[in-house]
């Protein structure tokens, strides 16, 4: 009993320390977003100074040039992240279903080849991918931002691992009832894969929402910029204050908090199921 108590106490201690390390930058961002530059740069940092400079958010939204490009950049990021997530969830779940439930020659080799692509860093294929997009006249377009990133090996592996233990009896029963293979996928597989789909959706949306390297290559016009590009430009301008910079970052983080807490039950369930199936 004493040993169990000590183990539980140690686990809680490390979890609390870990949570503090994670939450400290977030608290800093939101508190600094309502402070003046003078207070932000003070040492030691005044975590709760009692100052509320809400004009920092207004400056972040309108920009130093007053052109209000930030709302357009938020919309661009939302469109790119949403469409990429929808495409990734659809294609990865469909591919994972095929690799998990259809027996064909070379299935294992196909899976290994897909997984092998995870070992290739994006920087190694970035320039060839850019040349392809340029030759296809997709530079500075939504298509150029979305299509090259619409599928990933991790999503295929995750959905395959989740679906490999899906009951074959349900699929066979649907075939006996006359359902088509694609109909089985739409009516049987998708409704029963919600935890895994939600997990993949959250991870994909977050990666695209924060993506900087690829938009930096593709985007040329200010109207097509995404949030990371806007924040970088905003932070490097001469008259930007630190409070407005933190306000811009705080605004960008709000949609991710909303998405995570909206799908938190599905996300945690999917993560637990994936870990259990992986073991």
Model confidence pLDDT, tens digit, residues 158-175: 899 888 888 888 888 888
Write down the pLDDT at residue 276.
52
Write down the pLDDT at residue 85.
93
Q: How does residue 90 score in pLDDT terms, banded at 50, 70 and 90?
A: very high
Distance between start and end Cα atoms, the chain? 28
The overall average pLDDT reported for the chain is: 84
How far is the C-alpha of 79 from the C-alpha of 73, rounded, in Å? Answer: 10
pLDDT at 221 over 70: yes
Query: Which one has a higher pLDDT value, 93 or 237?
Result: 93
pLDDT at 5 over 70: no
For residue 148, which of 88, 223, 75, 94 has the smallest C-alpha distance?
88
pLDDT at 211 over 70: yes
Helix (H) or strand (E) holding 38: helix 37-40
**Contacts of residue 170, Cβ cutoff 8 Å, sequence gap at least 6:** 188, 192
pLDDT at 82 over 90: yes
In this structure, how many other beta carbons lie within 10 angstroms of the beta carbon of residue 220?
10
Query: Which one has a higher pLDDT value, 44 or 77?
Result: 77
pLDDT at 122 over 90: no
Give me the mean pLDDT over the 194-211 stretch. Answer: 88
Q: Is 37 exposed, middle or buried (0-12, 13-18, 19+ CB in 10 A)?
A: middle
Write down the pLDDT at residue 162.
87
CA 273 to each of CA 105, 198, 206, 238: distance values in angstroms, whole numbers, following the listed order = 29, 12, 21, 49
Write down the pLDDT at residue 177.
85
Query: E strands, the chain, where?
Result: none
Write down the pLDDT at residue 181.
86
Burial 86-104 (b: 16+ CB within 10 A, else e): ebbbebbbbbbbbbbbeee
Give me the mean pLDDT over the 185-192 stretch. Answer: 88
Write down the pLDDT at residue 243.
83
How far is the C-alpha of 241 from the C-alpha of 37, rounded, in Å? Answer: 6
pLDDT at 1 over 70: no
Give me the mean pLDDT over the 64-72 stretch. Answer: 83
Domain 56-278 class, CATH top level: mainly alpha
Write down the pLDDT at residue 36.
81
pTM value surpassing 0.85 = no
Write down the pLDDT at residue 275.
53
For residue 143, which of 76, 191, 189 has the smallest C-alpha distance?
76
pLDDT at 123 over 60: yes
pLDDT at 103 over 80: yes
Q: How does residue 81 score in pLDDT terms, banded at 50, 70 and 90?
A: very high
The helix-helix angle for 194-209 and 153-163 (nearest 10°) equals 170
Domain-wise residue ranges, the chain: 56-278
């Amino acid at each position: 009993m004493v040993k169990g108590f000590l183990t539980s106490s140690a686990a809680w201690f490390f979890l609390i320390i870990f949570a503090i390390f994670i939450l400290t930058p977030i608290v800093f961002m939101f508190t600094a977003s309502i402070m003046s530059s003078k207070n932000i740069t003070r040492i030691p940092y005044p975590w709760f100074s009692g100052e509320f400079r809400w004009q920092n958010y207004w400056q972040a939204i309108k920009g130093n040039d007053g052109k209000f490009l930030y709302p357009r950049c938020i919309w661009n990021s939302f469109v790119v992240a949403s469409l990429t997530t929808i495409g990734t969830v659809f294609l990865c779940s469909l591919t994972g279903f095929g690799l998990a439930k259809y027996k064909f020659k070379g299935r294992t080799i196909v899976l290994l080849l897909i997984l092998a692509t995870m070992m290739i860093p994006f920087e190694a294929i970035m320039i060839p991918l850019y040349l392809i997009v340029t030759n296809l006249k997709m530079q500075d377009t939504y298509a150029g931002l979305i299509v090259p990133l619409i599928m990933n090996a991790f999503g295929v592996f995750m959905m395959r691992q989740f679906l490999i233990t899906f009951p074959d009896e349900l699929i066979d029963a649907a075939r006996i009832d006359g359902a088509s293979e694609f109909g089985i996928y739409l009516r049987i597989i998708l409704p029963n894969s919600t935890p895994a789909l939600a997990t993949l959706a959250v991870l994909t949306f977050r990666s695209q929402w924060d993506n900087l390297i690829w938009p930096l290559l593709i985007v040329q016009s200010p109207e097509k910029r995404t949030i990371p590009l806007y924040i970088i430009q905003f932070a490097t301008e001469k008259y930007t204050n630190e409070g407005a910079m933190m306000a811009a970052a705080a605004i960008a983080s709000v949609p991710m908090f909303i998405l995570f807490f909206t799908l938190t039950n599905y996300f945690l369930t999917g993560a637990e199921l994936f870990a259990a199936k992986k073991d």
